Amino acid sequence: DTAVSQTPKYLVTQMGNDKSIKCEQNLGHDTMYWYKQDSKKFLKIMFSYNNKELIINETVPNRFSPKSPDKAHLNLHINSLELGDSAVYFCASSQAGSRIEAFFGQGTRLTVV
């Protein structure tokens, strides 16, 4: 069973398009995250949701809009895609206040052309 799953795994799209990446976790965790890994492999947090509420928003352009329909899902919608948005986007989940590790999805490689 996949703990944190993201779709799609690869996404190639043109500048100016709008796209979404979906994430689901079956671990029963209450907190989900989106991280971005740039071309230099540096991972940085974008958003965090706890029980469907936005907790962390790391000065990400408002073209990026996360949506959490329930605590098992956190989707990322990106409007008006730019070349600089090309990166690998990772979804993760954890249980707030617990002593267990964060679990990451396999990543979505987004290429904007």
Q: In the complex, which residues of this chain contact other proteins (CB under 8 A)?
A: 31, 33, 35, 40-45, 48, 50, 55-56, 90, 92, 94, 96-97, 99-107, 109
Contact 15, 113 (CB under 8 A): yes
- Closer by beta carbon to other proteins, 14 or else 59: 59
- Closer by beta carbon to other proteins, 4 or else 78: 4
* Measured distance CA(43)–CA(25) in Å, rounded: 20
- Closer by beta carbon to other proteins, 78 or else 89: 89
